[in-house]
Chains A and B, each alone.
Chain A
């Protein structure tokens, strides 16, 4: 191992880290939008959509992300739909996360005592403002810790998208290895970089969890 090469190696890895963060944030957003809307639909009277959502959740939670990414990236190309690596990564991780978060939000919404909703409606609030001002703020507090844990898992799952050549940390690491042969050092640096990204996030989630417990 040649430690004097670290600065030259860390630079491309940091470029990859920017993409890693981008992929994490965008797919987190997609997952939250899917998760929250599907959880709300499951509470609604749109019964026809319930089983569709159930199937979606079961399928995406029952198969590996890697298989999902391969279907989106390689499989769709075969059908003539070319998706670039970056959007493919976001679609794959976002859909996968949407399934996880549908369950998280559903549990969060179910945990709110129905008296809250009834009281809000009986004092004359519209269903919409009941949701907006009474239900969602309380759900938010309950779902924040599992949401944070999911964000950490997602950050680590982005490593897998290197398999469809999305230019994130592991992708740069693999390229660096073929050009410099500093295998051990590069993979240690890559692992350290992930740790530096996820550790602060984990501490934050810990704090939220403790604060959440203090409230209840």
Chain B
């Protein structure tokens, strides 16, 4: 067992400097795909609630399609599938665009249910006191909906963090790819994939602790509001 860990001590000075930029890229992929997903999610959620039929149909179609196909299929389609059409996308960009488009469909449903969970009396009252529809949304609906969607939103960050690992399959230079390269060079797959797993865990676990705290707090807040 100690021989197993001695390998880490031996290779650490070689591995760690190569893993650090990869970890940075994993974090960047997570952040970019999350931001893209939030933008897509908000647009789709509002589109699905709009009274304009073609827009609503498009948004429902987008949500169903992205929720029905694996992110990996989407990544391959963007990275490899667009090349014959003359569109060459960088692996990193293809990675976060694919993940973001996929997660956007999920966030749309989360946002929509969040907006709809705000009692409609709130909207009616705001309009009745003379607020414009945009101000109503900005100051009345949105702050209340945000409270509701915060826990699932944080959950999505964790899911995306873990999903960035599949970007390695389109050769985006992130943690899993770097671990795989180093594993092939050193013939030490167990050491490197375990190390990668530990690093992912160290990033995901604090996030999930925060999420659980927020979830508990929100539930308490909700209770106070109804009592």
Do A78 and B188 touch across chains, with their CB atoms under 8 A apart? yes
B146-165 CB contacts (< 8 Å) to partner A:
162-165
Q: Report Cα–Cα, A195/B67, bound state, in Å.
A: 8
- In the complex, whether A150 has a CB less than 8 A from a CB of chain B is no
Among A44-52, A118-126, A132-140, A183-191, the one that faces the other chain is A183-191
- In the complex, whether A61 has a CB less than 8 A from a CB of chain B is yes
- In the complex, whether B117 has a CB less than 8 A from a CB of chain A is no
Q: Report Cα–Cα, A184/B73, bound state, in Å.
A: 11
Do B72 and A159 touch across chains, with their CB atoms under 8 A apart? yes
Do B72 and A187 touch across chains, with their CB atoms under 8 A apart? no
Q: Report Cα–Cα, A148/B42, bound state, in Å.
A: 26
B58-115 CB contacts (< 8 Å) to partner A:
64-65, 67-74, 76-77, 80-85
Residues of chain A within 8 A of B164, CB atoms compared: 64
Residues of chain A within 8 A of B162, CB atoms compared: 63-65
Do B166 and A160 touch across chains, with their CB atoms under 8 A apart? yes
- In the complex, whether B205 has a CB less than 8 A from a CB of chain A is yes
Do A183 and B83 touch across chains, with their CB atoms under 8 A apart? yes
Quick one: CB contact mask for B155-180 with A, threshold 8 Å, 1 for yes? Answer: 00000001111101100000010011
- The residue that A199 contacts in the complex, of B64, B83, B163, B196, with Cβ under 8 A, is B64
Give the one of B73, B84, B194 with max A CB within 10 A: B73
Tell me how many residues of A have a C-beta within 8 Å of chain B: 44
Number of A-B contacts (CB under 8 A): 129
- The residue that A78 contacts in the complex, of B76, B163, B189, with Cβ under 8 A, is B189
A31-66 CB contacts (< 8 Å) to partner B:
58-59, 61-66
Do A183 and B190 touch across chains, with their CB atoms under 8 A apart? no
Do A66 and B81 touch across chains, with their CB atoms under 8 A apart? no
Do A63 and B201 touch across chains, with their CB atoms under 8 A apart? yes
- The residue that B65 contacts in the complex, of A1, A173, A184, A195, with Cβ under 8 A, is A195
- In the complex, whether A163 has a CB less than 8 A from a CB of chain B is yes
Do B74 and A191 touch across chains, with their CB atoms under 8 A apart? yes
- In the complex, whether B142 has a CB less than 8 A from a CB of chain A is no
Residues of chain A within 8 A of B8, CB atoms compared: none
Among A69-77, A82-90, A208-216, the one that faces the other chain is A69-77
Do B166 and A66 touch across chains, with their CB atoms under 8 A apart? yes
- In the complex, whether A93 has a CB less than 8 A from a CB of chain B is no
Known A-B contacts A160-B166, A177-B80, A183-B84; the reply to A75 vs B64 at CB < 8 A is no
- In the complex, whether A156 has a CB less than 8 A from a CB of chain B is yes
> Closest approach, in angstroms, between the C-beta of A194 and any C-beta of chain B?
5
> Closest approach, in angstroms, between the C-beta of B92 and any C-beta of chain A?
17
Do B189 and A70 touch across chains, with their CB atoms under 8 A apart? yes
Residues of chain B within 8 A of A170, CB atoms compared: 70, 72-73, 76
- In the complex, whether A165 has a CB less than 8 A from a CB of chain B is no
- The residue that B200 contacts in the complex, of A63, A163, A199, A202, with Cβ under 8 A, is A63
Chain B residue with minimal CB distance to A197? B68
Residues of chain A within 8 A of B71, CB atoms compared: 156, 159
Chain B residue with minimal CB distance to A194? B69
Given A66-B166, A74-B183, 18 other A-B residues pairs in contact with their CB atoms under 8 A: A63-B204, A64-B176, A75-B193, A78-B190, A156-B71, A159-B70, A163-B169, A173-B76, A183-B81, A186-B81, A187-B80, A188-B81, A194-B70, A195-B65, A198-B67, A198-B68, A198-B69, A202-B67
Q: Would you mind naming 10 contact pairs between A and B with Cβ atoms under 8 Å apart?
A: A62-B201, A67-B197, A70-B193, A74-B190, A170-B73, A183-B83, A187-B81, A191-B73, A191-B77, A194-B70
Closest 5 CB pairs of A and B: A75-B190, A159-B70, A64-B165, A74-B189, A156-B70
